[in-house]
Amino acid sequence: MSSGDCMGAGLALRTAGTHPDRVAAAAGFHGALLATDAPDSPHLPADRITAELYFGHADQDSTNPADQTARLDKTFTAAGVRVSQNISGADIFCSMASRNMTQAAFFVLTALADEPRHGYGILREVEELSAGAVQMRVGTLYGVLDRLTADALIVLDREEVHDGRLRRYYRLTDEGMRALDAEAERMAAGASAAKQRIADGRKATGTPPVTGPGLAGGLA
């Protein structure tokens, strides 16, 4: 069984098409960007799906508009996929900017703050920026890039062929820069509060301050 909500619904759909011998059922709730014009849209492997599917959609969802729902239904019908789809009266917006930003997303946005970069370039920057604390696999990175793109925090800047391989360069949007700035401010405020509490605690207990290399922090 594979299931997910928001961007996870697309991952569930893609997994059902990529591993039809391993997925007997898949479900998605308020899925985002399920049937786009992108060459890697989650609906494209539908002709390989053998699982039974269920998708619940909202009738007011900016990340899954009516034309994408119709395209999804048409694709499933043409592929003979067993699927049930339900549209409920709800207003949904799936956005990373409106919830806690993950550590990986924070460093990916930071890596793109000064200039557009391609996948492996982003991986190198993230590892350097985090002093080696964050080391992502390629699959994890592209999952993060998909979510950030869906949230309109990054966009595809350009594509280039290098040594016979296609490289996709991503860049921050204005909304992405604002989200990164807000998260950096939130983290700085949290670090400042922690340092103050530590100083107060040491003063109360008479514990001398610790000297040595600085501490590296991040989001859980």
> Is residue 165 domain-shared with residue 144, that is, in the same domain?
yes
The count of structural domains within the chain is 2
Q: Are residues 78 and 105 in the same domain?
A: no
- The tens digit of pLDDT for each residue in 127-175 reads 999 999 888 888 889 888 988 988 888 999 999 998 888 999 999 998 8
What is the per-residue pLDDT across 84-126, written as a single tens digit (0 to 9) for each?
887 765 544 454 554 568 889 999 999 999 999 999 999 999 9
Range of the structural domain that residue 147 is part of? 98-175
The CATH number for 44's domain is 3.40.50.1820
Longest dimension (CA), the chain: 74
Same domain, 55 and 126: no
In a domain, 209, yes or no: no
CA distance 185 to 172: 18
Q: How many helices (H) and strands (E) does the chain have?
A: 6, 7
SS3 82: coil
Shared-domain flag, residues 83 and 20: yes
Q: Are residues 126 and 80 both part of a single domain?
A: no
Residue 4, pLDDT above cutoff 90:
no
CA pair distance 12, 218, nearest whole angstrom? 29
First to last CA, the chain: 28
- Are residues 68 and 119 both part of a single domain? no
The strands making up 25-29's β-sheet, listed across from edge to edge, are 2-5, 25-29, 52-61, 83-92
CATH number at residue 155: 1.10.10.10
72 in any annotated domain: yes
